[in-house]
Amino acid sequence: MLETSARLLRLLSLLQTPRDWTGTELAERLEVSARTIRNDVERLRALGYPVDATRGSVGGYRLGAGADLPPLLLDDEEAVAVAIGLRTAAGGTIAGVEETSLRALAKLERVLPSRLRRRVNALQAYTVPVPRDEPGPRVAAETLTVLTACCRDREVLRFGYLTHDGSESVRKVEPYRLVNWGRRWYLVAWDLDRGDWRTFRVDRLTPRVPTGPRFTARELPEDVTDRVRRGVSSAAWRYRAEVTVHASAEEVTARINPAVGTVEAVDANTCVLHTGADTIETMAVHLGLLNLPFRVTEPPQLVDYLRELADRYRDATG
């Protein structure tokens, strides 16, 4: 039988898993009586752990949420995963969490066993992050908190919004989902003034508080990720093109990153790729990486650049 302190730690570890445990199951796992389990549960509660209990044939114990955050028990892989996540957050696109992440990481590394600290430090010492071609927009953590709370509580939200052409407006929406797409965050919402679904870049909006009344949720018309991919990506492109590709839509879809564009089937062997980029050169690279026959008729800048590339490649092998 485990000593009381070791048994409490083991019991706490079991209760932190996302399921209900019957007293009999816990007693069998810890090789003690059901009465001992009840006493140990009371000890955990006295230490500040909110252990919830339900009665009946399907009842049991689980760790609930309390007013304060008690110490957590993490296994080896969980501890390493949390440490890696904190390091990543410290250099991410959410403004205001860098210092908080580093403070939490410092606390975690102080109590990590040496074997785990070596693993975490090795990841930091022997991995080199490559800077992105251009810095991503920063989003305040407080803004994300307000938006997610409105999505959860179904509260109407008003915010100032800066469009891609620089004009400002005040929008009133029913917020539904936040989507993290690469370096950017997007809000999918029902625009009350326009009577339609809209997608907004979070780094361009400023929430106005207090929030509005609660609303009755509408059914989302499609997967929010598909909406962001089709709508927001194309709106952010400087150049756009519709490219006829002589291959099935399934084959083309499998070869592109979702951020590159969307694919529309024409027949079993032909499809149209709706794509774009900030530069003509980037779009030409994407098309070349398809490694499939295609035809482009517009924009004229892309047509001219592809002809220039064709001549350059021909000269390189002549």
63-77, 101-115, 273-287: which has the highest mean pLDDT? 273-287
- 247 and 229 part of one domain: no
Cα distance between residue 111 and residue 104, in whole Å: 11
In a domain, 44, yes or no: yes
Residue 164 predicted with pLDDT over 90: no
Q: CB 229: neighbour CB atoms within 10 A? A: 19
- pLDDT-based confidence at 116, cuts 50/70/90? confident
Strand extents, DSSP E, the chain: 51-54, 60-63, 94-95, 139-140, 157-162, 168-181, 184-191, 196-201, 205-208, 239-245, 261-267, 270-277, 294-295
Three-state DSSP at 214 gives: strand
Q: What is the mean pLDDT of the chain?
A: 82
- Residue pLDDT, tens place only, 296-307: 988 899 999 999
- pLDDT-based confidence at 1, cuts 50/70/90? very low
Question: What per-residue confidence (pLDDT) applies to 206?
Answer: 92
The two structure tokens encoding residue 139: 């989003």
φ, ψ at 182 (rounded to 5°): 60, -120
Residue 58 predicted with pLDDT over 80: no
- 205 and 148 part of one domain: yes
In a domain, 69, yes or no: no
Per-residue pLDDT, averaged over 104-129, amounts to: 78
- 202 and 175 part of one domain: yes
If one counts the domains in the chain, the total is: 4
Residues facing 264 on adjacent strands: 272
In a domain, 166, yes or no: yes
CATH number of 13's domain: 1.10.10.10
In a domain, 134, yes or no: no
Given 174, 206, 235, the domain boundary residue is: 235
Element (H, E) at 299: none
- 19 and 103 part of one domain: no
In a domain, 94, yes or no: yes
* C-alpha Rg value of the chain to the nearest Å: 27
List the domain range (segments joined by +) for residue 162.
143-235
